[in-house]
Structure formats: structure tokens, C-alpha cells
Amino acid sequence: MGYNNNPDAARRRSLLFFFAVIFAVGGVATWFLTRPRPTVEQRITEAFQKARIAAQKGDIAGTVAVVSNDFRAGSLDKKRLRLLLFRTRQQAVDTDWQVEITPPRILPGPDNVPDKRLVLTRIVAREASSGNALWSTGDNSITLLMREEPTRLWGIFPSTTWRVLAAPSLPDF
């Protein structure tokens, strides 16, 4: 009894639904176009924080997501870095990690290229239960060359992200 088979009522419901969808799409588009854009420094810091959280969870893919496919540091490339992290994680299955990354100091890149930055930071990986440092850059900051690279947001929308391209001060493995 509660259902109305009146064609005019169905047309009104369709029209209301259509306008609701248009209004929602317009609202999302307005938000997307007017939201404040994060600075380069904020985006680089956010990339490091995502990698830190992934490392603490043992998520190797999330940890190396901040590393470019073109990464080079001596004999180390992205594939070898992933393999070293995998082996380390495999050998320390029951170990909880605590990863600390100091707030990065971000400088202009070589030749003031706008899509590259030099980043100075310190990284320490500790065993959570004992606090013993398992790996550390020591008292010195590590120098990283980062590059803004194209990516996809949610697999659909074109976007960019900052990734580590080189680590000239990283000790060879």
C-alpha cells in the first residue's frame, strides 16, 4: 500500500536524485579545487611518516613506497633494498620495531631544479622491548636526494609524490 505507482511521483524522485547527485559532485569538486595545498616540506615529511609507520608494522611494500624505482646508493638499488628488508624481517619475526625519523631538514635540490630536494635526517630502528638500536645513521644526518614523481591517487586521479632517488651518504651493504 505504501508504494506509489504514479509515473509523476517516480519522475519527481528521479529528478530529486539527479539534483542530489549533481549537488554532491559539485560539492566534492569545490572542495577539491579550493582546499589548501600542502607545501613540499609537508609532503616530504608525510612520506617519511608513512614509511616509518609501515616499517613499524613490518610492511615492506609500504616502507619502500617512499623509494623511487630509479634509487641508487652505491651497489644498493630498490630491489636489493627490498630484499635486505625482507630478509631482516624474516630473521626477526617476533621482533617489534620502533622506528624514529627526525624531522627532515629540506634544502633546494642540485641546480635548483624544482622537482628535486636534498633532505637531511636521522633514522634509528630499535627493538621495542629493549630499546637497543638495531640500525642507525648514528649522530650524523643521512643525506637523501628526493624527486617528485607522478603517481595515481586511488589508482585513478593523476597526482605526484616525493620519493628517495639517491642516498649518497648511506653506508654500502
**pTM recorded for the entire structure:** 0.73
E strand or H helix at 20: helix 7-34
pLDDT of residue 68: 93
| CATH class given for the domain over 40-166 | alpha beta
Average pLDDT over residues 90-119: 85
Residues 6+ apart with CB under 8 A from 72: 165, 166
pLDDT of residue 127: 78
Sign, Cα dihedral of 33, 39, 40, 43: negative
Is residue 161 predicted with pLDDT exceeding 70? yes
CA distance 113 to 121: 21
- Are 47 and 163 in contact by the 8 Å Cβ rule? The answer is yes
Contact present, 105 and 121 (Cβ < 8 Å): yes
Buried b (16+ CB within 10 A) or exposed e, 53-88: ebbbeebbeebbebbbeebebeebbbeebeeebeee
Q: What is the pLDDT of residue 84?
A: 86
> In this predicted model, what pLDDT tens digit does every residue of 33-57 receive, in sequence order?
777 888 999 999 999 999 999 988 8
Three cell numbers, residue 1: 500500500
